[in-house]
Amino acid sequence: MDNLEDMKIVAEQWWKQGIEFVQQIPPPQLYTAIGVLLLATIWLLSIRLFRRTKSNTVLLCGLSGSGKTTLFFQLRDGSSHQGAVTSMEPNEGTFVLHNENNTKKGKIKPIHLVDVPGHSRLRSKLEEYLPRAAVVVFVVDALEFLPNIRAASEYLYDILTNASVVKNKIPVLLCCNKTDKVTAHTKEFIRKQMEKEIEKLRVSRSAISTADIANDFTLGIEGEVFSFSHCQNKVTVAEASGLTGETDQVQEFIREHVKP
């Protein structure tokens, strides 16, 4: 009891001292001090708020001609309209996936889908979007797979060793497009071939001196043949067809990793 009363008295004394001190400060200074404090707290709060909202950006990338733009419009509108040509600029949009629009499940968070052009001269656009991506969908042409396998594997390797992807453990979906055609390869085949090619890349890129490595990180485990399970971020394979609208696997993947 005594301690409590003592503490009360001490607190009251401090309080009085504080008020006296405050009253001594001339008003303009006081106001500016309060103003600065307020601003600082607001700023800090807003930054924290911004950081806390998890990004909902989905990146569609892949070689030129793999069907990204078609897939983009398929996901957005449910139809690929009249076809697409080689993109010169990225296609961006924030929307709810078309299929989900029909099934009313309550409030669905829209996703920000970005279709980055695949042409090698526009490769630098990818660098702009990668840091903010939550998910990367790497589209591969399952029809013309073998002629382009080297370029595709190099692109995928560059993505998997990119600093943002590794640090943020961004999940990657290897989407095999154009599976509606009869001669398209299966996703297992594509997966194995890509793993083989990346293994070759890994060997040749790590055989050169340390300063020459253009990539920020190396992939896989030393001494073992590369497999997608070695990546720290999750890499899955799926099939899709942009023209006919079979994009269920892709949508599942997106839903899984972009938390509503």
Angle between helix 248-257 and helix 68-77 axes, rounded to 10 deg = 80
CB closer to another protein out of 178 and 187: 178
CB 135 within 8 A of CB 234: no
CA nearest to 183, candidates 145, 239, 237, 228: 145
- Cβ–Cβ < 8 Å for 159, 173: no
Decide whether 177 or 249 has the Cβ nearer to another protein. 177
CB of 187 to another protein, least distance (A): 25
Cross-strand bridge partners of residue 94: 112
Closest by CA to 61, choosing from 181, 184, 159, 171, is 159
Q: How far is the CB of 233 from another protein (least distance, A)?
A: 23
Of residues 62 and 90, the one with the C-beta less far from another protein: 90
Q: What are phi and psi of 177, to 5 degrees?
A: -95, 165
Note every long-range contact of 50-54, with CB atoms under 8 Å and residues 24 or more positions apart, other chains counting: 54/134, 54/259
Q: How far is the CB of 194 from another protein (least distance, A)?
A: 16
Q: Which is nearer to another protein, 144 or 233 (CB)?
A: 144
CA dihedral 195, 138, 147, 81 (to 10 degrees): 150
Least CB distance to another protein at residue 143 (A):
15
Q: How far is the CB of 41 from another protein (least distance, A)?
A: 18
Footprint of another protein (CB under 8 A): 50, 64-65, 69, 73, 77, 81-91, 115, 117, 119-124, 150-151, 154, 200-201, 203-205, 207-209, 211-212
Cβ distance to another protein smaller for residue 16 or 200: 200
CB of 252 to another protein, least distance (A): 25
- Between CA 97 and CA 109 the distance in angstroms is 10
For tokens 């309550």, the residue is 106
Pick between residue 176 and residue 201 the one whose CB is nearest to another protein. 201
Read off the DSSP letter of residue 161. T
